[in-house]
Amino acid sequence: MPNTSDEYKRQVMKDLVGGDRETLPDDSEQYQSFNDFAQRSSREERRSLFSNFFTPDRIPTAQMEPELQKAIAQIKPNEQKNVAKEFLNNLKKRGLSDRELEKQLGLTTHDPNRMKAEDVSKLASFAYHAHPDIFHDVLADRPALVMFLSNPIVGAALGAIAAKWIGKK
């Protein structure tokens, strides 16, 4: 039995992501883990599943923000830069300039190559709350970020996602 709450959450997530392969209806394609799902699923499949579960009405912004901070802090610096670039590029298409976002969100810079994890978290939180479709697009392109979310509500959403992708095809 794990001896801390975080270890327990990680184990629950592993169990949820692993799924119950004994109850699969047939021999159709199945995903063995979240990594397998992230690598072999289509971008649209990931976007569709994420957009059903990662919404402010299911997981309030106040709960998602600290999870995003923790998740982004755990990904590699190069991946943080890529996530920041994707958020900025998508938000720019909506008419929000990187300099406006720097001021509005209190970022340390508007240059994604120099952003700290805290800056990327602010961009992610802003997109989650104000532009959830952009948030879902970035998650679909960078699904590894989802692996670092640990909130029990997020765990429940991932469990529902796991049930769908394991039994889907």
- Ordered by start, the domain boundaries in the chain are 28-167
Cα dihedral 62, 55, 83, 104 sign? negative
Q: Does the pLDDT at position 34 exceed 80?
A: no
Residue 20 has a pLDDT of 41
125 token code pair: 């939180």
Task: Give the residue-averaged pLDDT of 131-158.
Answer: 81
Look at residues 51, 62, 41, 131 and name the one whose alpha carbon lies nearest to residue 91. Answer: 131
Local structure of residue 156 (DSSP, 8 states): H
**Tens digit of each residue's pLDDT (9 = 90 or more) over 36-92:** 777 888 899 889 888 888 888 888 889 889 989 999 999 999 999 999 999 999 999
Q: Does the pLDDT at position 7 exceed 80?
A: no
Cα separation, 120 vs 145, whole angstroms? 12
67-105 CB burial, b ≥16 within 10 A, e <16: bbbebbebbeeeebbbbbbbbbebbeeeebebeebbeee
